[in-house]
Amino acid sequence: MPQVFNPAADWILKLTALGVLGGFVVGFVAWHASLAFQPAIGEPVAQNVPFSHKHHVGEEGLDCRYCHTSVEQSSFAGLPPTTTCMTCHSQLFRSAPLLAPVRNSLAEDRPLVWRRVSRLPDFVYFNHSIHVHKGVGCTTCHGPIERMPLTWRAKPLTMAWCLDCHRNPEGRLRPREAVFETDWQPPPDQQALGRELVRRYGIDTGRLTDCSVCHR
């Protein structure tokens, strides 16, 4: 019987298999290495400008959308340009040393650089606008943001944590008009409310745990 493959083909196959396996190993190690740079839950993240959600949101009552302008239309919530900060701070605390980076940013036409607080792996797709329009509140994922002098990561944001919500969205949903209310509390009949909101907002619970929902 004639030989179909020459002896070199066996080595090529083995090397290809090792290459694929090595790629998975390198990717896995790189992913875990990236998690090492993720702030611990409850650990405040130092920033060049010590922005306080406690002051701006909890005490002054600023709506999340004032700074995070694209949260209802985009996968990314958005970060405010310096001009947004200076809307108030051109009049308030104009000479405060803490705000020097903000003033310099405006004068030099250079954006402020913020350290990321919540990080997801590159292979995870997350869309803020979808969650907002389906009745998921900001504090569901970001915790008591209105009480944070410096922002910290409040939730694990792991696959298991996300799946727990996707398997039982009724337990977390709130009316759309309450999505940005940081003091909103679920009613005693949250499951009943959640079932009604699932129906009203057209949430296909049968697809929420499909791989393609988060991995595209």
- Whether 120 and 209 share a structural domain: yes
pLDDT in tens, 39-71: 899 999 999 999 999 999 999 999 999 999 999
Is 2 contained in some domain?
no
- Tell me the average pLDDT across 191-215: 97
Selection from 187, 99, 183 nearest residue 145 by Cα: 183
pTM of the model: 0.81
Residue 127: per-residue pLDDT: 98
* Overall average pLDDT of the 1-14 stretch: 61
- pLDDT (tens digit, 9 = 90+) per residue, 70-129? 999 999 999 999 999 999 999 999 999 999 999 999 999 999 999 999 989 999 999 999
Q: Are residues 15 and 65 in the same domain?
A: no
Nearest to 112 by CA among 103, 124, 123, 120: 103
pLDDT surpassing 90 at residue 11: no
Whether residue 101 lies inside any domain: the answer is no
Contact 90, 147 (CB under 8 A): no
Residues 145 and 187 placed together within one structural domain of the fold: yes
In this predicted structure, the answer to whether residue 178 has a pLDDT above a threshold of 90 is: yes
- Residue 38 pLDDT: 74
* Domain annotation covers residue 100: no
Average of pLDDT values for 169-178?
98
Provide the 3-class DSSP secondary structure of residue 41: strand
Same domain as 75, residue 15? no
User: Domain range spanning residue 143?
Assistant: 53-79+114-214
Q: How many domains does the chain have?
A: 2
In this structure, the answer to whether residues 58 and 153 fall within a common structural domain is yes
CA 137 – CA 118 distance, rounded (Å): 16
pLDDT confidence of residue 144:
98
% of the chain surpassing 70 pLDDT? 84
Whether 167 and 140 map to the same domain: the answer is yes
